[in-house]
Chain A
Amino acid sequence: MPKRKPKPKISSKTRWAIKAYVKQGYSANKIQKKLKSQGLGIRRTTLLAEVRKVKGAKPKADRQKYTPKKYRRVAPKARRPVFSGKHIAVYRYATTQRYRKLARKAGMPLSYSARFEFYGNGKDLAKAVRLALSGIVPRFEKPHVECSARAFLNNPYRYGEDGEWVDRPNIES
């Protein structure tokens, strides 16, 4: 629960004085000056609240409208989320030395379908794509990798290993 501000205490003498001045039609400034001269000075915010109470008026609805622009509260700009569900896919067939050894033994094709899916801001994406193209391919145990570009840049060997991007294996029929 948020803490409530304690209500400012006003002496009954001040309250009565304010009531009387409001009935006479005095403005808030004039009332404040009068109270000060009588040794009953109070904060302006408290005075205005009290005047409103006597008049039965509500505070202005659109307060921001009457506040000079430079004093207005500006809501923080909604930042675009880095992860918007959209990725840049870097895909093709890949092969590594480790995979080729296993594939030759098992009589499998020498390359596997591999893909990185990166998300993040433009600079990171560009760097990550460049790094992937330089010869880091997803491991054959986990050929489809989805990660943030920054995480990939920080630790590329967590997501892939040294290898080559190759063309689709040739099929002769």
Chain B
Amino acid sequence: MVNGLTDQISKADPILGFTDRHTVKLDLDEMSFKSATYWANLVLRKYKLRGYIILKSSKKCYHVVFDRYVSWDENLSVVGWVAILSKSLKLKDYLGMQCIKMSSTLRVAPKNEKPSPRIVYRFGCQDHAVKDFLEYRELIKKIHRSL
């Protein structure tokens, strides 16, 4: 028997998100906007990722999507680098989940009381991975609205 688990099951709608292997995505939880932009800029310069957008998913939670397509190996390398240097346990968890699923996912639709993530900052080029991400985001939002 697993200690600490109750038998209660509460129904909930599944979450809709965007998944792929070649877009660098960071899930920066429990981080201020200032720190999020600091890490995004640092990664942008080190890995030459062309540009990025920051989305606010909830209070002190930000998603970063970079513009340059990378290989899966490089994707893990980037996220791992930020997770280690920022000492963010949540980002380490996110990296672990990415490795298990072998693809990275960011939430697009609302979840419980949290609204869908909204764009709060843009920087640099946004005509590759960011553009495709935003297209998919629109599609997912459209599907969610029609449900």
Contact = CB atoms under 8 A, between A and B. Distances in A.
Given A86-B136, A87-B20, A166 B4 contact: no
A47 interface: no
Contacts of A107: 1-2
A125 B147 CA distance: 12
B110 interface: no
Nearest to A118: B19
Interface string A152-173: 0000000000001111011111
Interface residues of A, number: 35
Interface stretch (B8-16, B31-39, B42-50, B55-63): B8-16
A166 B18 CA distance: 20
A164 B10 CA distance: 10
Given A86-B20, A107-B2, A109-B2, A91 B12 contact: no
Contacts of B21: 85
Contacts of A129: 16, 143, 147
Interface size class for chain B?
Answer: 20 to 34
Binding site secondary structure of chain A? mixed
Interface in A110-137: 110-111, 115, 117, 122, 125-126, 129-130, 132-133
B12 A165 contact: yes
Given A87-B103, A170-B5, A171-B4, A165 B14 contact: yes
A166 B11 contact: yes
Interface of B: 1-2, 4-22, 101, 103, 105, 132, 136, 139-140, 142-143, 146-147
Interface of A: 84-93, 95, 107-111, 115, 117, 122, 125-126, 129-130, 132-133, 144, 164-167, 169-173
Closest 4 A/B residue pairs (Cβ) = A107-B1, A167-B12, A92-B14, A87-B19
12 contacts: A86-B20, A87-B20, A87-B103, A88-B17, A88-B136, A88-B140, A91-B15, A110-B7, A125-B139, A126-B142, A130-B147, A170-B8
Given A129-B16, A166-B12, 14 more contacts: A84-B132, A86-B136, A88-B139, A89-B15, A89-B17, A91-B15, A95-B9, A107-B1, A108-B2, A133-B14, A164-B9, A164-B11, A167-B10, A172-B6
